[in-house]
Amino acid sequence: QSALTQSPSASGSPGQSVTISCTGTSNDVGRYNYVSWYQQHPGKAPKLMIYEVTQRPSGVPDRFSGSKSGNTASLTVSGLQAEDEANYYCSSYAGSNNVVFGGGTKLTVL
Amino acid sequence: EVQLLDSGGGLVQPGESLRLSCAASGFTFSSYAMNWVRQAPGKGLEWVSGINTSGGGTNYADSVKGRFTISRDNSKDTLYLHMNSLRADDTAIYYCVKDQRTSSRGNFDYWGQGTLVTVSS
């Protein structure tokens, strides 16, 4: 049950696009299409932004998109807005009904 | 409206026990897997435990295996986490989390507000 690897920080200017990556192994990200992304603002509970690699829950802007290649999943935020500044966490199903999270990426809107 | 109301947190001494509860409403509780996810102060998210719809299938992170027990009462729409032999590194906000699936897959679409557990002498 090793944590997924995320870069600690990412940044972009308003209107730009930024991509956050999440690297796992062939036993989690690489094996299953159950990668999710969560947004967490300070003092708040996390919010589901992407599930099953590419799916967006209703109400999540289409500026948020997900993808996966091999053992690495990615979250892309297009048309950055000030309210996108938050911590972002990835998670993956790891088999046997276990789930593993990434360490989180702090996204700063410059 | 889906609501998950976490409760039961507090200050305990190392080695003591605590039971967390999560009252669910706004959805058919018995149709979805449920989980506990924790977040230590200033740290990231850690999946702690999951339980399938019937309660017959439970899973735990290695860090809590043998000390924590997850359970659910579908007649009361309530999820529980029994925590024994608590340690300082169990200090965290504990979130009750609903999965979109019948077994834990990490599709965590609704989260409780969290309840703080502090383990300290």
Three-class HEC string of A33-84: CCEEEEEECCCCCCEEEEECCCECCCCCCCCEEEEEECCEEEEEECCCCHHH
Q: What is the pLDDT of residues B106-119, one digit of tens each?
A: 899 999 999 999 99
The model's pLDDT over B42-100, given as tens digits with 9 standing for 90+, comes to 999 999 999 999 999 999 999 999 999 999 999 999 999 999 999 999 999 999 999 99
Using a CB-CB cut-off of 8 Å, the residues of chain A touching B95 are 45-46
Instruction: Report the DSSP beta bridge partners of residue B79.
Output: B22, B72
Q: Is B117 exposed, middle or buried (0-12, 13-18, 19+ CB in 10 A)?
A: buried
Q: Which residues in B lie closer than 8 A to residue A93 (C-beta atoms)? A: 104-106
Size of interface A-B (CB pairs under 8 A): 71
pLDDT over 90 for what percent of chain A? 95
Query: What CA–CA distance (Å, rounded) separates A6 from A75?
Result: 11
Q: Which two tokens stand for residue B83?
A: 């925590």
Summary mean pLDDT of chain A: 96
Residue A1 pLDDT more than 70? no
pLDDT band for position A36 (cuts 50, 70, 90): very high
Rounded mean pLDDT, B32-46: 97
Q: Which residues of A touch B (CB under 8 A)?
A: 1, 3, 34-36, 38, 40, 45-48, 51-52, 57, 89, 91-93, 96-104
- pLDDT on residue B105: 87
| pLDDT at residue B103 in the model | 85
Residue B118 is predicted with a pLDDT of 98
Per-residue pLDDT at B104: 86
Q: List the 67-96 stretch of B: residues with Cβ below 8 A of A.
A: 95
Closest CB from A46, A99, A104 relative to B111:
A46
> Which of A45, A91, A104 is opposite residue B111, by nearest beta carbon?
A45
The answer to whether the CB atoms of A57 and B45 lie below 8 A apart is no
Q: Which of chain A's residues have a Cβ under 8 Å away from the Cβ of B61?
A: 1, 98
Chain B residues closer than 8 Å to A34 by CB? 105-107
Give the CA angle between residues B118, B29, A101 to the nearest 5°.
50
- For the sheet containing A64-69, what is the strand order? A5-6, A18-23, A72-77, A64-69
Q: Do strands A105-109 and A9-12 pair parallel, antiparallel, or not at all (unpaired)?
A: parallel
CB neighbour list of residue A37: distance below 8 Å, 6 or more residues apart? A20, A22, A48, A49, A50, A51, A64, A66, A73, A75, A88, A89, A90, A91
Q: How many residues does chain A have?
A: 110
The average pLDDT across A45-64 equals: 97
Q: Give the three-state DSSP class for B24.
A: strand
Q: Residue A2: pLDDT band by 50, 70, 90 thresholds?
A: confident
* pLDDT for A97 beyond 90: no
